[in-house]
Amino acid sequence: MIALLIVLLGETIGIWFFYNKLNIPENRVYAASLVYHFAILTMVLNVMQIPYDSAIIAHQKMKVFAFVSILESILKLAVAFIVLYSAHDHLIVYGFLLLIVSLVIRLIYQYYCRRKFKECRLNFVFDRKLLKEISVFFGWDLMGNVSALSRNQGINILQNIFFGAIVNAAMGVAGIITNAINSIVANISFALRPQIFQSYSLKDYKNVFLLVETGTRVSFFLLILGAIPFLLDTSFFLSLWLKEVPKYSIEFTQLLLISILVGSLYDYLTILINATGKIRPLSILSTIVYSSSVLLSFILLKIGFGVFTTSIIHISVTALMGFGILFIVNKLIPDFLITTFIKNVLLKSLFIFTIAFLLCFFVQKFVLPNEIYLRLIIDVIIISVILILIGFNKKEKAEIRKIIMKYLPLNS
């Protein structure tokens, strides 16, 4: 039903908006329109894949995610090479091949889940109570997700209307870079999500809070391992990838990375709220905050604020959402102490980020200003040492040491 709704809205209101409101060069309208249709079909496939993703997570078959993710990466790399040497319009070929990749991944998940999990074999069952529970949860969840989607795409549309396709291109480059870095954190959350749900269902709140705090810290630390070098040498990394770096790409990439770092501090709290099943407060909060951010962005751009206004608002809204989520978790689970989370996770993470960033900045400006490759190696070493010395607690260090001894037997 959601997939049909996407097609209905996309091919009516969406197509009207495409032709009447967006700023697209006249000679590229045909290619862009085809890619728009491909994008709608890709979204339909992704939506219809959600039940299979959920089944794999519920059964904790994370190896399947790993193998399919590797395959997907290989296929997308193949797409890049095909586009590079294609004699046809590169944009059209790119959009079409990405649609094919989504279809292949969708069929693989469907085939695996239907073979392995009996609940993934389609049966028509009418359970009024279950339908009501799913509908209520789904309705509030959809409201929250639609508000987040509207915020993201609304900002892109505003940037297009006020500044044109050049800014959209810059934001697109920034989005690809930051999504690649953020995918590491997403994979960790996939692995911990079932454990958080199980611990909560058993009312083992001590383990729940431990998983949430540990997951948040580990995710943030892994992020800064890649984000800090990228923040300090964004132009270098983009020049490795692109012959011509689009205007504003460097600044948008840096701002998006900061937004992801801020958002990662609250991702596991959102998972915890979902575990309770009481997502109404979160959905209402996200709808109010995200809608307000789009409205505020429109007002500020209308009165003449600059191109980076929306990104700064995005960071502010992400931080505001985080504090709202803290109070929601405390209300749903009174045993959760806001002050403890702020002390053990937020302040500690921000302190480590500040120390690591300042040291790496010092190396960049005063020690190795012209030795980029050596500087990047030094940056990674500095961040790693800081994380080992003050980032992880004793228990986490013991687990890391155990993993190292298991896979790198130094005593042999």
Residue 168 CA to its chain's centroid (Å): 19
What count of other Cβ atoms lies within 10 Å of the Cβ of residue 383?
25
CA distance linking residue 219 with residue 349, whole number of Å: 10
The pTM is what? Answer: 0.77
Asked whether residue 393 carries a pLDDT value surpassing 80, the answer given is: no
C-beta of residue 328 within 8 angstroms of C-beta of residue 282: yes
Is the pLDDT higher at 405 or at 224?
224
* DSSP letters spanning 103-153: HHHHHHHHHHHHHH-GGGS------HHHHHHHHHHHHHHHHHHHHHHHHHH
Instruction: Provide, rounded to the nearest whole percent, the portion of the chain with pLDDT above 90.
Output: 18
Instruction: Provide, rounded to the nearest whole percent, the portion of the chain with pLDDT above 70.
Output: 95
**Taking residues 143-167, what's their average pLDDT?**
81
The reported pLDDT for the residue numbered 406 is 53
Matching residue, tokens 């005063």: 366
Asked whether residue 407 carries a pLDDT value surpassing 50, the answer given is: no
336 plus 310 within the same structural domain:
yes
CA distance linking residue 236 with residue 222, whole number of Å: 21
Last residue of a domain, one of 120, 146, 179: 120
Asked whether residue 201 carries a pLDDT value surpassing 70, the answer given is: yes
Q: 3-state class of 335 per DSSP?
A: coil
Do the domain assignments include residue 90?
yes
What count of other Cβ atoms lies within 10 Å of the Cβ of residue 87?
6
Sign of CA dihedral 287, 288, 293, 299: positive
Domain containing 84 equals 1-120
Mean pLDDT of the chain: 85
Do the domain assignments include residue 196?
yes
Do the domain assignments include residue 330?
yes
DSSP 8-state secondary structure symbol assigned to residue 95: H
Asked whether residue 189 carries a pLDDT value surpassing 80, the answer given is: no
The reported pLDDT for the residue numbered 342 is 92
Asked whether residue 314 carries a pLDDT value surpassing 50, the answer given is: yes
Do the domain assignments include residue 93?
yes
277 plus 144 within the same structural domain:
yes
Asked whether residue 135 carries a pLDDT value surpassing 60, the answer given is: yes
DSSP E strand boundaries for 8-77: none
Last residue of a domain, one of 120, 151, 180: 120
Is the pLDDT higher at 33 or at 73?
33
What is the band of 357 on the pLDDT scale with cuts at 50, 70, 90? very high
107 plus 168 within the same structural domain:
no
55 plus 192 within the same structural domain:
no
228 plus 358 within the same structural domain:
yes
343 plus 232 within the same structural domain:
yes
Residue 176 CA to its chain's centroid (Å): 11
Asked whether residue 359 carries a pLDDT value surpassing 90, the answer given is: yes
User: Residues near 112 by Cβ (< 8 Å), separated by ≥ 6?
Assistant: 52, 56, 64
Is the pLDDT higher at 154 or at 326?
326
Asked whether residue 410 carries a pLDDT value surpassing 50, the answer given is: no
What is the band of 412 on the pLDDT scale with cuts at 50, 70, 90? very low
Of the listed ranges 71-85, 104-118, 168-182, the least confidently predicted one is 168-182
Do the domain assignments include residue 6?
yes
pLDDT tens, position by position, 74-109: 888 888 888 888 888 888 999 999 999 999 999 999
Is the pLDDT higher at 147 or at 267?
267
The reported pLDDT for the residue numbered 247 is 83
Q: What is the rounded (10 degree) CA torsion for 387, 391, 395, 401?
A: 0
CA distance linking residue 280 with residue 368, whole number of Å: 52
Last residue of a domain, one of 52, 86, 120: 120
- For the chain, the straight-line distance linking the first and the last C-alpha, in angstroms and rounded, comes to 59
What is the band of 57 on the pLDDT scale with cuts at 50, 70, 90? confident
Do the domain assignments include residue 409?
no
Q: What is the rounded (10 degree) CA torsion for 206, 211, 217, 220?
A: -150
314 plus 344 within the same structural domain:
yes
- Please give the tally of structural domains in the chain: 2
Of the listed ranges 131-135, 175-179, 180-184, 247-251, the least confidently predicted one is 180-184
CA distance linking residue 392 with residue 394, whole number of Å: 7
CA distance linking residue 330 with residue 339, whole number of Å: 10
CA distance linking residue 8 with residue 43, whole number of Å: 13
C-beta of residue 5 within 8 angstroms of C-beta of residue 46: no
Exposure class string for 140-173: b at 16+ Cβ within 10 A, else e: beebbeebeeebeebbbbbbbebbebebbebbeb
Do the domain assignments include residue 325?
yes
DSSP 8-state secondary structure symbol assigned to residue 246: P
Among the ranges 63-67, 247-251, 401-405, which has the highest mean pLDDT value?
247-251
What count of other Cβ atoms lies within 10 Å of the Cβ of residue 346?
18
258 plus 320 within the same structural domain:
yes
pLDDT tens, position by position, 339-350: 999 998 999 999
289 plus 170 within the same structural domain:
yes
Nearest to 153 by CA among 171, 176, 173: 171
CA distance linking residue 275 with residue 194, whole number of Å: 9
Q: Tell me the HSE value of 265 on the side-chain side, using a 13 A CA sphere.
A: 25
What is the band of 329 on the pLDDT scale with cuts at 50, 70, 90? very high
Matching residue, tokens 């630390």: 221
The reported pLDDT for the residue numbered 405 is 60
Do the domain assignments include residue 127?
no
148 plus 48 within the same structural domain:
no
157 plus 19 within the same structural domain:
no
295 plus 373 within the same structural domain:
yes
What count of other Cβ atoms lies within 10 Å of the Cβ of residue 394?
7
Q: 3-state class of 57 per DSSP?
A: helix
CA distance linking residue 54 with residue 72, whole number of Å: 18
